[in-house]
Structure 1
Amino acid sequence: MRKLLAGAALAALIAPACASARDHAYVDRAPAANVKTEAPSDFKISFGATGATDYVWRGVSQSDEKPAVFATVSVGYKGFYAGVGTENVRFAGISQEYDLWGGYVADLGPVKVDAGVVRYGYVNAPVKIDTLEGKLAVTGNVGKLGLKVAGYYTGNYFGSHHNALYGEVGASYPLTDKLTASATLGRQHIDVLPDYTTWNAGLGYTVMKGATIAVRYHDTDATHIGKKARGRVVGSFTIAF
C-alpha cells in the first residue's frame, strides 16, 4: 500500500503538474519561496506579494495554466535567513501550497555561497507529498553581468521515496536603471523517471521602489508531462517591502 500511495503521489505531481527557493535575479516561477542571495549585516524583515498569469515551477504549470497569487514573509540577520510563503495551485485535488525555507549566505568577496533548505507543503493533499530539498548556490558578478550556479537535492521527491537532483545556471544583465534581462537553464533528474531540461528568459521592469512587472517565456523538453510543460509566456506584478 505504501508503494501504491507513493506512486500515486508521484504521478499526481509529474503527470499533470510535476509539482522554491530562487534568487530574485533569476526568478523562473513566481516568488513563493524566493530568497535574496545577500548577507544582511543587521536584522531585516521583508514582505512580498505577487500576482501572475500562471504559476510555473521548473518549467511546469502548477496552477493548471490559471492565474496565481503569492505572499511571502522573510527575515535575515548577519547572513542567516528564514521565511514562509503560500500560493494557490491546481492539481490532484490540491488548491493551496505553502513553503518554508532557511539557510545561510557566506559573503566570500567576489562570490556569495548560499546553503539552505526548502520545504514544499500542500494543504489537504490526498496523499503525503510534502518535500524537503537541500540547496547550494553560488552567485557572483562579472562587471554588470550577474551569474548563478545552483543545485537542489531531495531523497524523497514528493512522496515517491526516490532521489531527485535539480541543477541550474542563470544570468542577468541591467539594460537600464529600471530594466533587467535574465535567463535560466535547468535540468531535473528524478530516479526511475525521465530527466528533462527547462529554460526561461524574460525582462523585469522596476515601476517604483519595491514594485516590479515582469514578462517571461518558459519552455521544456518534457514531452512526457504534457501540455503543462509546453512553452508559455507568463506576466507578473510584484510588490516587496
Structure 2
Amino acid sequence: MMRPLLFAAAAVLALPAVAHAQDGPAAGSWSFAVGAGTDNRSKGASKSDGDAYVFGEAQWDSADGFFYAGPSFQTIRSSSGSELEAAVDAGIRPEIAGFDVDLNAKYKWQVDAIDGYDADSWEFTGRISRSIGPAKARLTVQYSPDSTGSSKAWTWVEGRVGWDFTHKLSGTAAIGRREQETSVDYTAWNAGMTYAVTRDVDFDLRYYDTDANVPGPQYASALVGEVTFSF
C-alpha cells in the first residue's frame, strides 16, 4: 500500500510547483470546497452508516480547463474501523460533438484501518453531459477493479436529468445500477433540489432510496441535506 500512497502524495505536492513554474494565465488556478451533510451517500448507499459527515477538497485546473487534479477527504464509518477516507484524483474534460466529457482516475484509502484490511482502491469514471437551455442530462459510468474490504470489482451506471428553474434553484433526478462481484447488486435512485444561497454557498436537499433488501441504514431510504462552501 505504501507505494501508491507515496505516488499519490507526490502527485499532489507536485501540482503547486507545476503551477508556480508557469507564468501568467498558463499557470492555471486552485479552487477549494468544504461542507457537511446529514448522511454520506455515494452511488445511492450510505458510507457513514446513516450519520452526518464532513468533506473537503482542493482542485487545480489548467488555464484552459482541460486538465484538473487534487486531493480530497470525507468522513465515513467503515468496518475497517476507519472514520476518514482520503483520495487523490486527476482527469480531463474534453468537449466532443457538443457534449461535455469528463474522464477521471481516483485513488482512495481509508485512514487508520485495522491491520490486514484491504483499505485502498482505484476508481475510474467516465461522464458525458449536455445542456440545452434550462434542461440538462448526464450519463455516468464508474468501475473499480478491486474495492475495499472483501468487495472486488464493481460497475456503476447512472443516468441523471435536471432543470434550472431560476439562476439560483435547480432540480435533478437520477437512477443508477451497481453490479458487484462479491457484494449485493442493487438499483438506486434519488431526486432533489439545489439552491444557491450565495455565489459561494449551495444547499442541497435530496431523497435517496434503493431496492437492496439489506437490514440497516446503508441501503435504506433517507432524506439528506448538504451544504457546500466554495472558495
Q: CA deviation at 1:233?
A: 0.4
Q: Would the alpha carbon gap of residues 171 and 100 (structure 1) be closer, same or farther in structure 2, given more than 3 Å must change?
A: same
Q: Would the alpha carbon gap of residues 196 and 104 (structure 1) be closer, same or farther in structure 2, given more than 3 Å must change?
A: same
CA distance in 1, matches of 2:105, 2:124: 4
The DSSP-based 3-state class of the residue aligned with 2:148 is helix
Find 1:57's aligned residue among 42, 63, 68. Answer: 42
- Deviations 1:33-87 (CA, angstroms, capped at 9, x unpaired): xxxxxxx987121000111111111122211222111111001113011121111
Q: Which residue of 2 aligns with 1:107?
A: 95
CA distance in 2, matches of 1:174, 1:64: 32
In structure 1, runs of 5+ residues without a counterpart are 1-39
The DSSP-based 3-state class of the residue aligned with 1:54 is coil
List structure 1 runs of 4+ shifted beyond 6 angstroms.
Answer: none
CA distance in 2, matches of 1:61, 1:156: 19
Q: CA deviation at 1:90?
A: 1.5
Root-mean-square deviation (CA, aligned residues, Å) is 1.8
In structure 2, runs of 5+ residues without a counterpart are 1-24
Q: Would the alpha carbon gap of residues 192 and 66 (structure 1) be closer, same or farther in structure 2, given more than 3 Å must change?
A: closer
The DSSP-based 3-state class of the residue aligned with 2:39 is coil
Q: CA deviation at 1:215?
A: 0.4
Identity value in percent: 28
The DSSP-based 3-state class of the residue aligned with 2:218 is helix
Q: Which residue of 2 aligns with 1:190?
A: 180
CA distance in 1, matches of 2:156, 2:27: 32
Per chain length, whose mean CA-contact separation is higher, i.e. which structure has more relative contact order (CA < 8 Å, sep 6+)? 1
Alignment of 1:3-14 (within 5 A): none
CA distance in 1, matches of 2:130, 2:27: 22
Q: Which residue of 2 aligns with 1:73?
A: 58
The alignment status of 1:144 with 2:134, answered yes or no, reads yes
TM-score, structure 1 normalization: 0.78
CA distance in 1, matches of 2:216, 2:50: 12
Q: CA deviation at 1:159?
A: 4.4
- Structure with bigger gyration radius: 2
Is the CA contact (8 Å cut-off) linking 2:188 and 2:210 kept in structure 1? yes
Q: Which residue of 2 aligns with 1:217?
A: 207
Aligned length: 202
TM-score, structure 2 normalization: 0.82
Alignment of 1:84-233 (within 5 A): 84-92=71-79, 93-126=81-114, 127-160=117-150, 162-224=152-214, 226-233=216-223
Is the CA contact (8 Å cut-off) linking 2:151 and 2:182 kept in structure 1? no
Q: CA deviation at 1:157?
A: 2.0
